[in-house]
Amino acid sequence: PPSQAMWALGDKIASSIVAQTAGIPTLPWSGSGLRVDWQENDLQKRILNVPQELYEKGYVKDADDGLRAAEEVGYPVMIKA
């Protein structure tokens, strides 16, 4: 597989975004609802790229961002480094 595919499936945030894009249910997390905009010909080429700006929306950047995400997801929360 291309390196982008290996990264997208091996990275927890990117793989969750790929799963959500495919309509696969995921547990609530800070990136719930994030989906890649893709074209039909991307599917034929078997390419799904998670853009950096979308990826960055999936993780918590600081304590305030973490509190906001916890309120959205609901308690209890699990923090994963």
User: What pLDDT sits at residue 43?
Assistant: 66
What pLDDT score does 16 carry?
93
Say which CATH number the domain at 28 has. 3.90.1770.10
Check whether 74 has a pLDDT greater than 80. yes
Residue with tokens 């990264």: 7
How many domains would you assign to the chain? 1
Which structural domain range is residue 22 located in?
3-73
pLDDT at residue 29 in the model = 93
* pLDDT tens digits along 10-63: 888 999 998 999 899 999 999 999 999 877 776 676 677 889 999 999 999 999
Q: What letter would DSSP give residue 51?
A: -
Residue 81 lies in a domain: no
Q: Is 70 exposed, middle or buried (0-12, 13-18, 19+ CB in 10 A)?
A: middle
Quick one: DSSP state of residue 76? Answer: S
